[in-house]
Every structure is written in C-alpha cells, then in structure tokens.
Structure 1
Amino acid sequence: MPEINQAAMDFLLTRRSRPAKTLKAPGPDRAALMPLLTAAARTPDHGKLEPWRFVVLQGAALGRMAKAVAVAGARLGKSEEDIVKASSAFSNSPLCVAVIEVQKDSPKIPAIEQTYSAGAVCLALLNAALASGWGANWLSGWASHDRGFLQAALSLAENESLAGFVHIGTEGATPPERPRPDLDAITEWVSE
C-alpha cells in the first residue's frame, strides 16, 4: 500500500467552494497570493507549453471589470438582473485572478489538452486558496464567453480565451453541504 497523505485526502474529500457573493475583504496580498499561484502553476502541462497565464485583478481594476460587464450586458441585450449579478461578482470581490488560456502552436499537444490544462489551473488555484484558509470560487458566466468583453476588459490576444475567474477573499459565511454525485451511477468498472 502507498503511504497516504491523510491531511491532503481529508481536504480533498471535504473541500467546498465558497459562493463569490459571500467573500469579503481582505483578500490575499501579493505575498499570500504568490504561493497560491505557484501551486496552480504546478498543474499537469503536457509538453511544458504553459498554455495559460494569470491576470490578478484588485482595487480599481475590479470596478473597471464590473463596468465592462455592464457595457457588454447592454450590448448583448441581457436583463438588468443578469447584468447586476455578473457585474457584482467583480464589484464585491476582494481579489480575482483571471486564468487566461493561451493556445500555443504545437505539433504534439492538441488544443484540447491545452484547454484541459488551463481548466486544471483554475481548480488548482481554487484548491490552493481553500487549503490556505481563504474563501474562493471559480466562476465563468456569460460575459466570459463574449469576445468583445474579453478584448475590452482583459485585452486578450486572438489565441487567448478565459478559463475562469477565481475570486479569493475572506470567507463571510460557510455554505451548507450540497448533494454530491452518486459514484455508483457514474462509475463503470472494466476488468476484461
């Protein structure tokens, strides 16, 4: 039997994202954020392409993002409720890390594997934040899929897209546990 890292397993078996609307200041400062980014950057990365990068949003940048969401929402014909919900994720956030997927030409590594790696970075950052005692949530939403918003708000290049926004702050409320998948219903055992 392999040696179990019980503390890590206990964390993984009980981890729970914190709703972004319950996060409050303070968020991590640069010194506290760097170990979280370092942990996220240890994500599996076939071919060592680093098909992702980080944009740390804090202070006035979060207000600018909230306004950019409102502009995009009006352009897209979103309801006032949708616009307020999406923009408040930024205006109420103590700190947000935009994980940017950077597609790189590679004869060996398919684009989809680069996308998977960028998604894994989001989960690794989320788990690192939670394991460090912060409240955190990984969000996307309609604005994150709108090219106009991404270019206006984050100046993304043509080969870039958003893997996710990871909001990090002080936990304002512990959410109740939610139903989890029925492993028997989603697991197939194959031995022949």
Structure 2
Amino acid sequence: MPIANQAALEFLLCRRSRPAKTLTTPVPDRADLDILLTAACRTPDHGKLEPWRFIVLQKAALSRLGDAVAARGAALDIDPDKIEKAQLQFSNADLAVAVVSAPVVSPKIPQIEQVLSAGAVCAALLNAALAAGWGANWLSGWASHDRDFVEQNLGLAPNETIAGFIHIGTERVAPPERPRPDLATKVTWVQS
C-alpha cells in the first residue's frame, strides 16, 4: 500500500481559485514568489525541455498593460464591455505572473506536449500559491491571444504564446463553493 500525503490530497480535493478581482495587497515578496515559481517548475516536462518561462508583472507594469489593452481594444473595435473587463484584469491587479508557452524545436517531443507542459505550470503555480495561503486565479482573455499585444507589451517571440496570467494576492472574501463535475459523466472505465 502506498503511503499517502493526506494533507496534500485534502488540499487538492478542496482547492478553490479566488476571483482575481477580490485579491488585494499584500502580495508575495520576491523570496515568497521564488518559492512558488520553484514549485511551478516541478511540472511534467517530457524531454526536460523547459518549454515555458515567467514574466512577473508588478503594479506599475500591470497599470501600463491596462492602458495598452484599452488602446489595443479600441484599435480592434472590440466591444467596450470586453475592453473594460480586460483592462480591469490588469489595472486592478497588484501582482500577476504571465506564464509563457515557449516551445522549442525537438525531433522527439511534439509541440502539443510542450504547450500542455506550460498549462501544467499554470496549474502548479496556481496551486502552489493557494497552498501557501495566498489567493490566486488563472486568467487569460482576448488580449493574451492578440499577437501585437503580447509581442509589443510583453516582449514575446513569434513562437511564444501566453498560457495564462496567474494573479496572486491576499484574499478579501472567500468565494462560495461552486458545482463540481459529476464523475459519472466524465469517466469511462475500460476493462478489456
């Protein structure tokens, strides 16, 4: 019988993201964030390619991105409500980590596995922040998929994409529990 890490299992069974709009200061300092990023780097990574990287966005950078989202959204004639939502995601935040999917050329490891590894980094960073007692949320949005926005404002290379923005801070209010998937509708057992 394996020896269970019961505390870790209990955490995973009841983990709950915190809405980014409810997060405030204080936020993790550099030493605290280094621990969370170290935990996130311990993610599945077929071939040890490390096909991802981080951009730590502090308050001033997030305010700048909020302004850039508003300008870009207007240039693209995006619905004003969508622009405002995207703008507030940045301008109301105090700390976010952009997880960048940065696939590398590999004759053995397909690009999709590398992209999935970047997604696993997002989940690992989110869970590390929550386990450390912070509030955290994984967001994306239209701006994270706009090539001009991510290249001009975040310095992404043409082969890179945003896997997610992980917002981290102090939780102001506990969110209500939400319905969870019904395993009976999600699991297929194959016996032979």
State TM-score, norm by structure 2.
0.98
Within 5 A, what are the aligned runs for 1:16-95? 16-95=16-95
CA contact (8 A) 1:144 1:162 kept: yes
Distance (whole Å) between structure 1 residues aligned to residue 54 and residue 145 of structure 2: 17
| Correspondence 1:3-18 to 2 at 5 A | 3-18=3-18
Q: Residue type of the partner of 2:175?
A: P
**Corresponding residue for 2:169?**
169
Aligned partner of 2:69: which letter? V
State which drifts further: 69-78 or 158-167.
Answer: 69-78
Q: Secondary structure of 2:97's partner?
A: strand
Q: Residues of 1 paired with 2:27 and 2:80: CA distance?
A: 28
One-letter identity of the residue aligned with 1:79: D
Shift of 1:53: 0.3
Distance across 1 between alignment mates of 2:59 and 2:146: 23
Q: Secondary structure at the match of 1:162?
A: strand
Q: CA deviation at 1:111?
A: 0.3
- Aligned residues of 2:59 and 2:93 also touching (Cα < 8 A): no
**1:77 CA drift (Å):** 1.2
The CA deviation at 1:170 is 0.3
Aligned pairs, number: 192
Q: For structure 1, which runs of at least 5 residues remain unmatched after alignment? A: none
Distance 1:174 1:13 in 2: 17
Kindly provide the CA deviation profile for residues 113-172 of structure 1, in whole angstroms up to 9, marking residues without a partner as x. Answer: 000000000000000000000000000011111101101110111111100000000001
Tell me how far 1:59 sits from its aligned partner. Answer: 2.3
Tell me the secondary structure at the aligned position of residue 101 of structure 2: strand
SS at match of 2:47: helix
In the alignment, the residues of structure 2 paired with residue 10 and residue 78 of structure 1 have an alpha-carbon distance, to the nearest angstrom, of: 42
* Distance in 2 between residues matched to 1:163 and 1:106, nearest whole Å: 20
Give the distance between the partners of 2:20 and 2:77, measured in 1 at CA: 24
**Counterpart Cα distance in 1 of 2:88 and 2:119:** 23
SS in 1 for 2:107: coil
Unaligned runs of 5+ residues in structure 2 are none
**Correspondence 1:138-153 to 2 at 5 A:** 138-153=138-153
Query: What is the one-letter code of the residue matched to 1:155?
Result: G
**Whole-angstrom distance in 2 between the partners of 1:191 and 1:151:** 48
Q: Aligned residues: percent identity?
A: 66
In 2, Cα distance between the equivalents of 1:78 and 1:20? 22
Look up the equivalent residue of 1:133 and give its one-letter code: G
SS, match of residue 104 in structure 1: coil
Letter in 2 for 1:19: P
Decide whether the 8 Å contact of 1:40 with 1:121 is kept in 2. Answer: yes
State how far apart, in whole Å, the 2-side matches of 1:59 and 1:92 are.
Answer: 9
Q: Tell me if structure 2 keeps the 8 A contact 1:99–1:165.
A: yes
Aligned ranges 1:112-151 → 2 under 5 Å: 112-151=112-151
Provide TM-score, normalisation by structure 1.
0.98
